[in-house]
Structure 1
Amino acid sequence: MAVEYLGVRITSNQDRNRETREQTSKAARISGALRDIIWNNRHMRMETKIRIYKSVIRPIMTYGIETRADNQVTKNALRTAEMKILRNALGFTLRDRKRNEEIRNICGVQDIVRWGRNRRRLWNSHVDRMNEERIAKIARDGTPGTRRPIGRPPKRWRDSWTSISQEG
């Protein structure tokens, strides 16, 4: 069963890959619409283009990232979409053979996965300050009273920001 709420599909099987794929495709469509107007505008400063990326496109890609536990597939999808958009904004192609780190340094943009992990830490400290009867705190601290389904358990939200070894 799936329900769409505030533009995000909520499923009982925790399908994060589909949600991330939909968000990155939305961001890519917006970036494509901005290509002729902003990205290819030679009279616009690079700092302005990066501010537009940070305020318009990145929020679309990362909507709900504070409460979502990312796996390797979603991390790769986010990084790929981000680099495609940043290359386009700077006027680089893959044939220019610029490394991702170099492009991020030129733009002054933090890796989207690390940025998301930071957002999760901030969200966790926000929930820590909440009263005990708030739904967000109950959901974070509670344990379900049902049996786990067979198979590998999905990645937990707490594990998505606590371990530094998860940087990959």
Structure 2
Amino acid sequence: MPNSTPRKNKHLTKETKSRIYKTTLRPIMIYIAETRPDTKRLLETTEMKVLRKIARKIFLDRERTENMRNMCKVGNVIDWVLKRKQEWNSHISRMTSERLVRIARDISLRGRRSIGLPRKRWCYNLDPGD
């Protein structure tokens, strides 16, 4: 069973592997990005690793990121996640102020914080216009 995983299977086309990536791996990555505050670098590196496997390229081939995305016909995952976060934020903004989700988003904690950098919040990745 040397060709048991789709990304190592030489008999599948790039288009098929890209579709498998879009339907299985990408939703998992997007869930992580939507629930954690700072995942931009993790998403970019994971996406490029997968796209390199699909295109059968290695890091030393020095292929540009945009070329890899065009080759596999895949959009930028960071832009897509940011758009989804903005949609969710506007959805929460339309809710009444008594809803628990809106209270959790708008809460500002009282008291002293611990020493060091403050924790990153989910809303820090949104555009200031929202």
Q: CA deviation at 1:91?
A: 1.5
The answer to whether the aligner puts 1:66 opposite 2:28 as a matched pair is no
Match of 1:50 among 18, 31, 35: 18
Give the equivalent residue in structure 1 for 2:106: 141
Structure 2 counterparts to residues 1-168 of structure 1, below 5 A: 36-70=4-38, 74-162=39-127
- Does structure 1 conserve the Cα–Cα contact (< 8 Å) formed by 2:55 and 2:71? no
Distance 2:121 2:51 in 1: 30
Q: CA deviation at 1:142?
A: 1.8
Code of the residue aligned with 1:140 in structure 2: it is R
Code of the residue aligned with 1:85 in structure 2: it is V
Distance 1:133 1:51 in 2: 41
Code of the residue aligned with 2:51 in structure 1: it is L
Distance 1:107 1:140 in 2: 37
Provide structure 1 residue ranges, at least 5 long, that are not aligned to the other structure.
1-34, 164-168
Distance 1:133 1:63 in 2: 26
- Does structure 2 conserve the Cα–Cα contact (< 8 Å) formed by 1:39 and 1:49? yes
Give the alignment's Cα RMSD to 1 decimal: 2.3
Q: CA 1:64–1:117 in structure 2 vs 1: closer, same or farther (change >3 Å)?
A: same
- Does structure 1 conserve the Cα–Cα contact (< 8 Å) formed by 2:95 and 2:102? yes
Distance 1:103 1:89 in 2: 9
Distance 2:114 2:9 in 1: 53
Distance 2:91 2:33 in 1: 15
- Does structure 2 conserve the Cα–Cα contact (< 8 Å) formed by 1:67 and 1:120? no
Specify which structure has the higher proportion of strand: 1
Runs of 4+ displaced beyond 4 Å: none
Q: Provide the aligned length of Structure 1 versus Structure 2.
A: 127
TM-score (norm 2): 0.80
Distance 2:42 2:35 in 1: 17
Provide structure 2 residue ranges, at least 5 long, that are not aligned to the other structure.
none
